[in-house]
Amino acid sequence: MNLETAKRAAGEAAAELVQDGMRVGLGTGTTARWFVTALGHRIAAGLRVSGVATSYATQRLAQEADVPLHDLTAQGLDLAVDGADQVDPKGNLIKGGGGALVREKIVAASATRFVVVIDSTKLVPALGGRLPIELLGFGVERTLAALERTGGRFFLRETPEGEVERSENGNLLADGVYPQIEDVDALAAQLDATPGVVDHGMFLGMASLVLVGHEDGTVEEINAAGRTVDAGG
């Protein structure tokens, strides 16, 4: 499968949703990268927007693409576009494989419309497997023990040098490994209620639209209810 063609198609389709004068959240990851690049091309052609980056990597990419960047203010955003690690039939997501989940969730929640861009391999019948999470360093062993009572096996991330990996916020990054998650709302509530958890990678009921790129360059549109509404090239 030509995943880059699929990712590019989804990212470029999302860029076409941006209107003049919008405040836009810029996601992190391999598919969101195509969105930022395509947005830069539209800006070069005269589109006026302001962007909010969810990571340093996206900030650098936006600067290279000449996308104007600003801080996230109380005014919020008109549109946010980001990728996902998994998308279930109801449009629920797991995100954060790149470690930017907290900023990604803040940006997504700040937008009037949150659009997710993925290739078709990210569609799953049910969420499960790897679930990223950001933790405070204080009492982390106790926090991990509490998290394992939710049914997952948790591991702190390590850098290639063997050091504990931290987010751009300075917190620890970990991953929980779950079987198929039967009740996503219940698990999210348990994680939210665990002291020491900064946030987790479950984005439930947040996506307005999912753009699914396919290897032939077509893009499938799935609305928030999980129903396919359109497909195009």
CA distance 233 to 229: 14
CA distance 215 to 3: 6
Among 13, 51, 50, which residue's Cα sits nearest to residue 31? Answer: 13
Active site residues: 104
CB 19 within 8 A of CB 45: no
Task: List CB contacts of 113: < 8 A, sequence separation 6 or more.
Answer: 78, 79, 80, 208, 209
Task: List CB contacts of 11: < 8 A, sequence separation 6 or more.
Answer: 31, 32, 33, 34, 35, 36, 37, 38, 81, 117, 213
For the CA atoms of 161, 165, 170, 176, the dihedral, rounded to the nearest 10 degrees, stands at: 180
